């Protein structure tokens, strides 16, 4: 993956794991063209119902983003060419499809992947059962909680 400062005129690839205005990509580059691609292979392969597509569409209408459909990497690269971009910026995702799409994009253009704020900053460890994960994670989450100071009448 490319470093952030190697890309001066990127386009932004918005994907289905970050459809909010707090997407770090939109915050970092508010003036750059952004695109979302409805992934035909995923939609047809999984047999997604109209409800799911409608929900995504409504989320997207609130964001400054061009909407496309088709093969994701090809559409993102086509969008980049139309805007004479020198790179692509996106946000991290968990879906394994993301890795393959990123590989196809970065074969042609520098790709910067911005991290999302984690729920808990936890190093990799035992995930065999939730209880083992939670034993390590729970104290870290609650470290961030400070009960309100009691008021004068309480």
Round to whole Å and give the CA distance between 75 and 59.
20
Q: Which residue lies nearer to other proteins by CB, 2 or 60? A: 60
In sign, the C-alpha dihedral spanning 131, 135, 139, 140 is negative
Which of 1-9, 60-68, 106-114 is the region at the interface with other proteins (rule: CB under 8 A)? Answer: 60-68
Which of 1-9, 51-59, 101-109 is the region at the interface with other proteins (rule: CB under 8 A)? Answer: 51-59
Q: Which residue lies nearer to other proteins by CB, 3 or 31? A: 31
Contact set for other proteins, span 71-130 (CB under 8 A): 82-83, 91, 94-96, 116-120, 124, 127, 130
Which of 1-9, 58-66, 104-112 is the region at the interface with other proteins (rule: CB under 8 A)? Answer: 58-66
Tokens at 106, concatenated = 């970065």
Q: Measuring CA to CA, which residue among 70, 113, 107 is closest to residue 89?
A: 113
Round to whole Å and give the CA distance between 154 and 141.
27
Q: Measuring CA to CA, which residue among 95, 116, 103 is closest to residue 39?
A: 95
Contact status, residue 17 vs residue 91, Cβ threshold 8 Å:
yes
33 binds other proteins (CB under 8 A): yes
Contact footprint for other proteins (CB under 8 A): 16-23, 31, 33, 38, 43-44, 46-59, 61-69, 82-83, 91, 94-96, 116-120, 124, 127, 130, 133-134, 137-138, 141-142, 144-145, 147-148
């Amino acid at each position: 993956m490319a470093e952030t400062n190697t890309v001066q005129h990127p386009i932004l690839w918005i994907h289905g794991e970050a459809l909010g205005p707090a997407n770090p990509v939109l915050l970092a580059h508010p003036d750059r063209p952004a695109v979302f691609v409805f992934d035909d292979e995923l939609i047809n392969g999984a047999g997604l119902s109209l409800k799911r597509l409608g929900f995504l569409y409504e989320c997207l209408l609130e964001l400054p983003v061009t909407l496309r459909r088709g093969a994701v990497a090809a559409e993102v690269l086509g969008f980049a060419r139309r805007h004479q971009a020198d790179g692509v910026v996106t946000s991290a995702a968990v879906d394994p499809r993301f890795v393959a799409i990123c590989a196809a994009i970065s074969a042609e253009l520098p790709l910067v992947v911005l991290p999302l704020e984690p729920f808990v900053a936890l190093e990799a460890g035992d995930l065999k059962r939730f209880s083992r994960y939670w034993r390590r994670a729970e104290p870290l989450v609650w470290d961030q909680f400070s009960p309100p100071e009691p008021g004068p009448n309480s």
